[in-house]
Amino acid sequence: MRIAYHVMSAPGPLGLLFLAATENGLRYLEFLDKRSIKRAVDSHRDENPGAEWEASLLDLKPVVDQLEGYFCGALTQFDVALDPVGSEFQLQVWNALREIPYGETRTYGQIAKAVHQPRAARAIGLANHQNPIAIIIPCHRVIGSDGSMVGYGGGVPRKRWLLGHEAHFARLSGASLDLFAGAGVAPTNRVASGDGPPLGVARLTSATQAEPSRASRAGAASRPPTASRAATRTPARPAASSTSKTSPRAGVKAAARGSTGSRTRVAKTKRSGR
């Protein structure tokens, strides 16, 4: 069996993502953290005995393109063939996670009911934590019954960022007005607190801070300048008369002639005095 792998960069606190796929579909999507690529590959060799691992962007480019679309807010639903390795119960839970709409959340209890195991909320949490394909199988959309950010293998900062990212673009598209509406709970901590708008999107300002209309801008442009501005304007320099234009060389010659004439008059005066 051949497994192609690739590492891509993700925004915010997500960092580097390790992707690996078989000929049947994507098998792993993990946060690389501080691991080397070799360690990431070695951690899956026991699950894939005899597999030949090969670095290949070409094989994983469709997945990379969809992830980049997701990160810029242009894509809200993935269309990627998946090939995860897990028990029957785990596969059932992961399929239920894929049914959670973009921009919404569910509790562990709700997922337990969805897989017809209403008393297995703790087992649901364990399967959620062991999800091998992050983001695309959206285990980050599962929260505690009190709205707390718990049970995410990638860490709370990443879970908070992903939920804030989806809530932001869901609001812009009108897909969902309340991130926690599906879960039926209020959050106990802010989503994306302190992170600002994801992906460099400008914050939405209130109506009082909206950009002035074209009519108001046109009216402001047509108003005459105020008295203070008119008074402070620098007066134009008067144009020099044509008679005052003298070349530097002509001025030097005139000065030389004047000094020579004065010396001649002084000499004549001395001779006449004698």
Pairing status of strand 15-22 against strand 25-31: antiparallel
Q: Is 72 a catalytic residue?
A: no
Quote the CA–CA distance of 47 and 70 in Å, as a whole number.
29
Q: Which of 71, 50, 76, 63 is nearest to 20 (CA)?
A: 63
From the list 41, 120, 139, 179, the catalytic residue is 139
The Cα 130–Cα 90 span in angstroms is: 8
CA distances from 102 to 35, 164, 213 (A): 30, 11, 34
Token duo for residue 205 = 């300002």
- 164 burial class (0-12, 13-18, 19+ CB within 10 angstroms)? buried
Residues taking part in catalysis: 139
